[in-house]
Amino acid sequence: MAGNLPVSTPPDEISIVRTIAATIPAGSGLFLGNSLPIRLMDSFAEPGGALVSVGTNRGASGIDGNLATAAGFAVGLGSAVTAVLGDLAVLHDLNSFALFKKISTPLHIVVINNFGGGIFQLLPIFDYKDVFEPCFATPHNYHFEAIAKMFDIAYFNPNSLHEFAQVYSESLSSSSSSLIEIRTDREKCARLLSDLHGKIIVSV
């Protein structure tokens, strides 16, 4: 079934992680944010990709310091790092973009911006609409272009999977850091994941 997963425009979360897994070069680093990114990569990455070093933060406060950790990860590896992060994780650590100018290895930040905490839509609390949005989804209307400009980081906002694949490949060939923001629909993602999990259970 993995080879026949649906692809949407703009790209959905699953197609993003699969493209990264198929494109990231051997010997580089892959840093995965908490919540959906690490779970999606674990569940849907195409097998047989390049051998890379993988890092992540865990724990009760795992959402904090993801950019700073990715920067330290790049320094420790001595090679470029692709970091796949959710929008809330990036918003929690904006000041760490300042570190990017202090290290010699490039960081390619892929921000999956679904304007809130998408993973919570997979939990039973999603049924309680009165508290879900303000207390768990914590929605916002922020984009990341101005942040990239403030820290002098190359910014891209691809609107299709083809465009994302092209932008990501070009970023990998650059010696400078980049921020790629993909805006997605968290409710659509939740429906897609529910549908896929249902098909997996039936097939088993």
CATH number at residue 39: 3.40.50.970
In single-letter form, the type of residue at position 7 comes to: V
Q: In degrees rounded to 5, what are phi and psi of residue 142?
A: -85, 140
Q: Is residue 132 part of a domain?
A: no
- For 172-182, how does the pLDDT look when each residue is reduced to its tens digit (9 = 90+)? 999 999 999 99
The reported pLDDT for the residue numbered 3 is 47
- Residue 105 predicted with pLDDT over 90: yes
Q: Is residue 192 part of a domain?
A: no
Pair 182, 111: CB distance under 8 Å: yes
Per the prediction, the chain carries an average pLDDT of 84
The reported pLDDT for the residue numbered 20 is 96
Q: Is residue 179 part of a domain?
A: yes
pLDDT-derived band at 1, boundaries 50, 70, 90: very low
- Residue 7 predicted with pLDDT over 70: no
Is residue 182 within a helix (H) or strand (E), and if so which, with residue range?
strand 178-183
Pair 113, 145: CB distance under 8 Å: no
1-5, 68-72, 93-97: segment of lowest average pLDDT: 1-5
Residues of the chain with pLDDT > 70, as a percent, come to 74
Tokens 């990715």 belong to which residue? 70
Residue 88 in tokens = 């809330």
DSSP label at 125?
Answer: G
Of residues 202 and 38, more confidently modeled: 38
Q: Is residue 127 part of a domain?
A: no
The reported pLDDT for the residue numbered 2 is 41
How many angstroms separate the CA atoms of 43 and 63, rounded?
20
Q: Is residue 134 part of a domain?
A: no
Pair 125, 132: CB distance under 8 Å: yes
The reported pLDDT for the residue numbered 140 is 76
**Other C-beta atoms lying within 10 Å of the C-beta of residue 112:** 28
- For 144-168, how does the pLDDT look when each residue is reduced to its tens digit (9 = 90+)? 999 999 999 999 999 999 999 999 9
**Other C-beta atoms lying within 10 Å of the C-beta of residue 7:** 14
In single-letter form, the type of residue at position 156 comes to: F
The reported pLDDT for the residue numbered 51 is 95
The reported pLDDT for the residue numbered 132 is 59
Q: What integer is the mean pLDDT of 104-114?
A: 94
Pair 94, 44: CB distance under 8 Å: no
Domains held by the chain: number: 1
The reported pLDDT for the residue numbered 34 is 83
Q: To the nearest 10°, the Cα dihedral for 118, 178, 180, 16?
A: -80
Q: What integer is the mean pLDDT of 91-103?
A: 94
The reported pLDDT for the residue numbered 187 is 64
What domain range includes position 70?
7-117+141-187
Q: Is residue 23 part of a domain?
A: yes
**Strand 107-113, strand 178-183: pairing:** parallel
pLDDT-derived band at 112, boundaries 50, 70, 90: very high
How many angstroms separate the CA atoms of 25 and 77, rounded?
14
